Amino acid sequence: MDVSMLQRTYSDLLTSLFREGILNQQFTELQQLQDENNPGFVFEVVSLFFEDSGRLINELISNFNQQAVDYKKIDAYVHQLKGSSASIGAEKIRSVCQTFREYYDKNDIQGCYNCIQPLNQEFVTFKSKLEALFTLEQQIVAAGGSIPMMRH
Amino acid sequence: MASSQVVKVLIVDDDNITRRIYRTMLFRFCFEITEVEDGNNAIQQFLDGNEYDLVLMDKHMPNMDGVEATRTLRGMGIPVKIVAITDDANSKDTFLGAGADKFLLKPLTFPMLTDILKSFNFLN
C-alpha cells in the first residue's frame, strides 16, 4: 500500500473513532502535545492506559466474582479508570465509568454490576482500534510519510 | 517565586497517566517538575525544604486527598500557588475554602494550563 493510501486509511479510521464516540477532543489535545521532543508521546500514554486499565478491569471482574464484594474498592478502581480514560479521550469508557458511579451513589448494586461487562467490552474495542491506528502510524512512518492530523 | 529563576512545579496526582500528560505540557515551558502520588508526599516535599512556585493538585488520592493537603499547606504558612484540578465539580467551594487559588475541571488542556500560567505571571 502506498503512503497516500495508508494516510487515507488512517484518517478514515481516526474519523470513525470520533464519529462513533470512542474518542473525544481530549485525544486531539494529546496529539497536539506530540512533537519532535516527544515523538512517541501519544503511543506511550495510550500504552500506559492499556496496561493500567487492563489491570483495573481484571481487578474489578475478580472483585465482583467474590462472595463478599468490596464495593468501596470497586468504586475506587472505577474512579481511577474514569480519570485516566478522561485524560486520554477514551469517551465511551469514561461514559460507562460515569454511569457506574451514578449507580454507586444511589446504592444500586445491580446497576453497578450491569456496567462491568459493557466496561470490559468498551475497553477491548478501544484497545483493538487504537492498536490498529498505531500500526497504521508505524506503516506510514516506515513508508516515509507523515501522520495526518484530525481537524475539528 | 522560588529562589531560582526556573519555575518549579509540583504535580500531585495518583494517576500516572495524568502526571505524564501534565509533565509533557509543562515541559514545553522548560519548568522544573516534580511528581508525587498523594497529599502526604506533597506535604513531605515542603517539609524537606523544597520550594515550589506552583502546585497542580488532584482531589481524590490515597493517604491524603487534595483538599486536606491544601489546607495543611496553608496551615503551614506555605504561600505557593495551588491549582486544584479534579473531575469533582462539587468540590470547588471546598477547595477554594481550603486555600486553593484556582479550581479547574479535568481533563486539563494545554490552553487551560497556559491561561493559568499567564494569570500567575509565570510566562514571560
Q: What is the band of A151 on the pLDDT scale with cuts at 50, 70, 90? A: low
Evaluate whether residue B51 is within a structural domain.
yes
Å from B18 to nearest chain A CA?
6
* Structural domain includes residue B60: yes
Provide the pLDDT confidence category of residue A152 given band limits of 50, 70 and 90.
very low
Position B1 in a domain: no
| Residue A41 contacts B where some CB pair is shorter than 8 Å | yes
In angstroms, what separates the C-alpha of B49 from chain A's closest C-alpha? Answer: 31
Whether residue A132 is predicted with pLDDT greater than 70 in this model: the reply is yes
- The ipTM assigned to this model is 0.87
Mutation to test the A interface, candidates B17, B57, B65, B112, most A Cβ within 10 Å: B17
Maximal C-alpha separation, chain B: 37
* B107–A29 CB contact, under 8 Å: yes
Which CA distances in Å does A33 have to A62, A103, A130, B15, B27?
A: 36, 35, 18, 19, 10
User: Among residues B6, B4, B8, which one has the least CA distance to residue B81?
Assistant: B8
Cell numbers 487515507: residue: A8
Residue B4 pLDDT greater than 70, yes or no? no
Best residue of A32, A35, A47, A87 to probe chain B, by most B CBs closer than 10 Å? A87
Indicate whether B3 belongs to any domain.
no
Subunit contact B109:A29, Cβ cutoff 8 A? yes
Residue B29 lies in a domain: yes
pLDDT score of B2: 55
DSSP 8-state symbol, B28? T
Residue pair B54/B10 in contact by the 8 Å Cβ criterion: yes
CB pairs under 8 A between A and B: 49
Distance CA B25, CA B20 (A): 9
pLDDT category of residue A138 using cuts at 50, 70 and 90: very high
Give per-residue pLDDT as tens, A2-24.
899 999 999 999 999 999 999 99
Range of the domain at B104: 8-119
* Positive or negative: CA dihedral B103, B108, B113, B114: negative
Q: What is the CATH number of the domain that holds B48?
A: 3.40.50.2300
User: How many distinct structural domains can be found in chain B?
Assistant: 1
User: Quick one: DSSP state of residue A37?
Assistant: T
Residues of A in contact with B16 (CB under 8 A): 48, 52
**Smallest Cβ distance to A49: which of B17, B25, B60?**
B17
Q: Which tens digit of pLDDT belongs to each residue from B50-95?
A: 999 999 999 999 899 999 999 999 999 999 999 999 999 999 999 9
User: In this structure, is residue B2 part of a structural domain?
Assistant: no
- Give the B window 58-87 contacts with A, CB below 8 Å: 60, 87
If one counts every other C-beta atom within 10 angstroms of the C-beta of residue A44, the result is 15
Residues 6 or more apart in contact with residue B10 via CB below 8 angstroms: B34, B35, B36, B42, B45, B50, B52, B54, B55, B56, B80
